[in-house]
Amino acid sequence: EHILLDGTTVLVVSRLVPGQLHALRLDTLGVFVEEFGIPLLPIVSEFWVLADDERAPEIFMQVPVHQGEASTNGNITLFFSEALQADMSGIINISDGTKEELIPLSANSQTKGQGYVILRGSMVIINPSLDF
């Protein structure tokens, strides 16, 4: 366990236990000083660490429906049971068995001719550039 200082950022590296209350206490006046040398007042900050989510998100609905018909230039929209976070180094693979498109999750939606993915809470919109 240690503290990293970088300009205006203080990073406390510690072993936090899920499901327990933790506290950051700076009980002494002047543990930190601002840029003009004025000491910061004592600080107490308490927070809970949530337990890891052990249940994988489930797809509630997809549009177009699985094995359904869709327009060749349409989007694919997935609705999940909970909000998602994206690993920006990830890639989505879309294929019709003949053609294949790999869409990086980091792809910019403003780039012409490139597919992209939009993540909004529990909804994922996939816009392939190829017409399948």
Report the DSSP beta bridge partners of residue 48.
Answer: 21
Whole-number Å distance between alpha carbons of 4 and 88? 26
Whole-number Å distance between alpha carbons of 34 and 40? 7
Rg (CA), the chain: 23
Q: 3-state DSSP call for residue 60? A: strand
One-letter amino acid for residue 71 of the chain? S
The tens digit of pLDDT for each residue in 66-96 reads: 777 777 778 889 999 988 888 888 898 888 7
The tens digit of pLDDT for each residue in 24-74 reads: 888 888 777 888 888 888 888 888 887 777 788 899 999 887 777 777 778
pTM for this predicted structure: 0.56
